[in-house]
Structure 1
Amino acid sequence: MNRKQALKNIAAGTLGAMALPNFASAMEKAESLDLKGNINHSVCQWCYGSIPIEDLVKSAKAMGIKSVELLNSEQWPIALKHGLTCAMGYATPIGLNRGYGGPQFYYGLERAMDTAARELGIDPSEIRRINFVRKDEFPYQAPAGSTYDAGDYELGLAQLLAGHAGVEDLLERDVRGVDEHGAIDREMLIRHQPRVARGTNTCQALIEKRLKKPKRPASPQSK
């Protein structure tokens, strides 16, 4: 049997099936349904990389498509402007897939802690203290599955608030971008570039309050 004959047989079989009573009854029911528009279509931007995003969104809107997927965070407002959504984005600045060690994550977290403290009317350091894992709770099994073997977070916060010499010296050197010998530490300087939030973890607000913003040391290239 050649390809042409096979296609004829498939077509004949399809027409025969459509003539069956059960198929006809199903079609009649489908046509009588009050469609609510619950089935929505979307399009992925990466399939049409050569089309400017503005044109792609406009075309999708004209075709009745409700969402354009795989847009980055800078493109979301374009979809929103035309009444479309992006149910699946990518290239976000921070997310669970990028780990919990990034300063962007902790900057947002610590800002949220400060906001909660203001709304509850308690000291920002106190809201952190009462949420610490206590020293007698170690080893501590975290909800995500990790095991924290040891720690004394309350002591660390107490030393910071009391102006403990060792902590103060470490924080000041870190913000100034120098090591313990006073030499420029390029890694520290990179960590405190304007595009990156200054300070990390529970020290964020305290660093800004305790230490004056220093002048950035000149880079070796500028000398």
Structure 2
Amino acid sequence: MRKLILLAIMALAAAVVPAAVASAATTSPGRPAPAAGPTAEELLAKTNDCNQISNGKYQTDEDAAGGSVAVCDGGSAVFWKADLDIDCDGQRTSQCNEDTDCCFQPDTAFHQSDGRPLDAANLPYIVVPSSSDIWNYESSGLQGGGSCAVIYNGKVEYAVIGDTGPDRIIGEASYATANDLGINPDPSNGGTDAGVTYICFKNSSVDPIEDHGAATSTGQDLAGQFVNG
């Protein structure tokens, strides 16, 4: 009887040990993390050269002297390098309302799947200039809900195209985008004057537009194609 018990214990140990070893192998320190899309450096390396497609250059602010930002064609994406002003339009929240933002508008150019405006405080999105003689974003294969990567200070944030702005100013993103990138998101005194790269992938779409998880996974896939293609 004692021999049978011993044999049973040995058999159980043989079954458990390989599983434990396999588990340790997948969680051991130093093991590479699952792929999470290209790094900021890899993406920025693809934006060193600008094949300008805008008819002239955009201003970064209303009081900026002359245009300084070109929109460039990068093959499967278009990109520009600018500042980041805070967009707090859309749904009223404690962060975004008439009291926190002098220019608050209770609507966005593109809406959630339930028809409501986007939530700038919680959804990372960027603003593209309204179509003009400088550039028509739709002619470049961009649309509301399109996928973009926003890069600042070594960080990459995946966002959607969520709003449109003035036709001669570029460089704006939602409160949530700035916050995730470590930029002061306050609509009254936040943002940054330079150092932000926007890469928007042609003919892309995130559905529903308010699903940031889908925006991230879609963006990572398209960013990988952009870097490798």
Higher helix fraction (1 or 2): 1
| TM-score category of the 2 structures, normalised to the smaller one | under 0.3
TM normalised by structure 2 equals 0.22
Kindly name which structure, 1 or 2, has the bigger radius of gyration based on alpha carbons: 1
**Larger RCO: 1 or 2 (CA < 8 Å, sep 6+):** 2
